[in-house]
Amino acid sequence: MSKMYIDIGGTKLRCELFLNDIILKEEVLSIEVNLIEYIEKKISKHNDINFIGISFAGQVDEGVILSSPNIKIEEKDIKSYIFKKYKIALKIENDLKCALIAERNYTDESNIAMLFVGTGLGSAVSDNGRIIRGEKNLACEIGHIPFKKAPFLCGCGKNNCIELFASGSGLEKWENYYDLPKFDLEELSASEDKNAKKIYKNFIEALLVAAGNIITLFNPKVLILGGGVVRANPYLLNVIKENIKNYALLQSCEDLNIIISKLKNSSLEGAKLL
């Protein structure tokens, strides 16, 4: 029997198919795929798939996609849809919670917070070993707390989400708004353009506010940073370490360990553990 694991973010879809002793890996751009169509194509090609695990960059509860600010989805009740049509078990979980499931296998700590900066800005928290989920598995959606008003909308429909300032998609929106080239974070910080400088300053400020809020609210022992933007800019670790005391309760910063995730793709690794 084969198993399929998918990690779908705002930019990329990564898939690993475990066909007995062969592992097939694939990476495609998210905007080029319809998730259901993608899954159905794989099922028709590999008809012995009996389990699908999905890490999803959006809000998910009990197999149903509640919202997906950075991914276009038509079939929201994905678990029932696949089960009714193919009798295949499917588990889908929020990508940050998947990442947390994977990361906690690599630490002895039980109070862990994660902050990932990729296409979006996400977090997840384990309190005494239990993942904080809330009523609809929506807990820790740090990207959608209010920060400042922006002249455009977040994928969630509001115009003041912190994700609009500290995420890959947010940077792109600001660069389009100011008609700037597609700068990465380093180019923004080095640029002489006053708007580029402003975007960079807001990014750092928003990142620190997000990290500070997580630390103050959840008092973790370890804060794990990850996501594409952090991986491309590992110096952000020091920016947070050096400034966090101005953004979080001082007592919560004592003995706090802030690190960058050692896993290459913790969300996909977490999907394999669903």
Q: Are strands 89-94 and 49-56 parallel, antiparallel or unpaired?
A: parallel
Output the smallest distance, CB 69 to Zn ion, in A: 6
Output the smallest distance, CB 66 to Zn ion, in A: 13
Output the smallest distance, CB 242 to Zn ion, in A: 28
Output the smallest distance, CB 170 to Zn ion, in A: 10
- Note whether 71 binds Zn ion by CB under 5 A: no
Please say which residue, 164 or 215, places its beta carbon nearer to Zn ion.
164
Output the smallest distance, CB 248 to Zn ion, in A: 22
Provide the 10 A C-beta neighbour count for residue 98.
31
Which residues have C-beta within 8 Å of that of residue 267, sequence separation ≥ 6?
A: 7, 9, 55, 57, 95, 96, 98, 99, 102
Q: Under rule CB under 5 A, which residues in 203-232 are in contact with Zn ion?
A: none
193 conformational bin, left if phi > 0, alpha if psi -120 to 50, beta if neither: beta
- Note whether 156 binds Zn ion by CB under 5 A: yes
Q: CA–CA separation, 132 vs 113, rounded Å?
A: 10
Q: CA–CA separation, 128 vs 266, rounded Å?
A: 20
- Which contiguous run of DSSP H or E holds residue 274? none
Contact criterion met (CB below 8 Å) for 25 and 72: no
Residues contacting Zn ion: total by CB under 5 A: 4
- Note whether 161 binds Zn ion by CB under 5 A: yes
- Build a one-symbol-per-residue string for 116-155: x at contacts with Zn ion by CB under 5 A, - elsewhere: ----------------------------x---------x-
Query: Residues in the site for Zn ion, rule: CB under 5 A?
Result: 144, 154, 156, 161
